[in-house]
A = this chain, B = another copy of it.
Amino acid sequence: MNLFYRIVRVFVMQKIPVDYKINCSSCGLKSLCLANGLNDLDIVQLDKLVDRKASLYKGDHLYSDGQHLKSFFAIKGGIIKVYSFDSENKEVVHGFYLPGDVLGLDSLAYNSHPFNAVALDVTNVCEIPFNKLEQLTKTIPDLNNQLLNLMSQEIVNSRRHSSLLAHKTAEQKLAFFIYLMSSKFKSRGYLHTQFRLNILHKDVANYLNLTPETVSRILTKFNKDEIVSWIKKEVNIFNEEALKNMAGE
């Protein structure tokens, strides 16, 4: 088992630097991120702005509370948690971002913004500076449109989350969350009934305004009812229809 772990680690370490240097034109996620809707020539222009960062490892911060953020980040691989602290210094989890998602849309209006972004797994991001992007939007109207679209979507997502917090039961919340993650994997062309979800139960609990105990109890029930299991970061959906119904969609 230990040997297996080593091999995987080495594999990951070696593979990623090759993989993540891929440019926008040949990136499989271009239809989700800023490049969506752009023609091939424009994508090349966008690509010139992109700074492909070295891999982040679990616990590494992409940015922190109070920092003056001056870039967007598009996720190429891995998973990022965005969180803040409330007035009593308790953590508040705002969301989890997967490959194809864009971070930093919330920070445009603020010199110093109140959010933190941390990697939950080995993660690769493309950094796109605000000011350079802004210049480019002037010559590429489609790019400006896509930026506005992404922001608009972020507003709607955030409202959906509020609505979930307000009007769903603990069971519905958790079913909805797993269903949402599954949908994300599906739309990205990955296997959506069986996937790795490297999120701690306590972080999900926080995000859904539940306690880890409640999450644990409900997952046990879902497993018993043969709807879905989530054991050691591995999600298995046994009954997609039942999950969807339970999510109240």
A residues adjacent to B (C-beta < 8 A): 84, 86-88, 90, 92, 94, 105-110, 113-114, 134, 137-138, 141, 144-145, 147-156, 158-159, 161-163, 165-167, 206, 209, 248-249
Contacts and interface: CB of A to CB of B under 8 A. Distances in A.
Contacts of A154: 155
A147 B156 CA distance: 17
A121 B145 CA distance: 34
Residue from A137, A138, A165, A166 having most chain B Cβ neighbours under 10 A: A166
Nearest to A163: B92
Closest 7 A/B residue pairs (Cβ): A158-B158, A109-B152, A166-B209, A108-B152, A109-B149, A151-B151, A165-B165
Contact of A167 (B92, B134, B148): B92
Given A87-B249, A154-B155, A165-B209, 9 more contacts: A86-B248, A106-B159, A109-B149, A109-B156, A110-B152, A147-B148, A151-B151, A151-B152, A162-B165
Nearest to A206: B166
Contacts of A165: 162, 165-166, 209
14 contacts: A86-B248, A94-B162, A105-B151, A105-B152, A108-B148, A108-B151, A109-B149, A113-B156, A134-B141, A151-B155, A161-B162, A162-B162, A162-B165, A165-B166
Nearest to A166: B209
A88 B138 contact: no
Contact of A163 (B86, B108, B138, B155): B86
A110 to B, nearest CB: 7
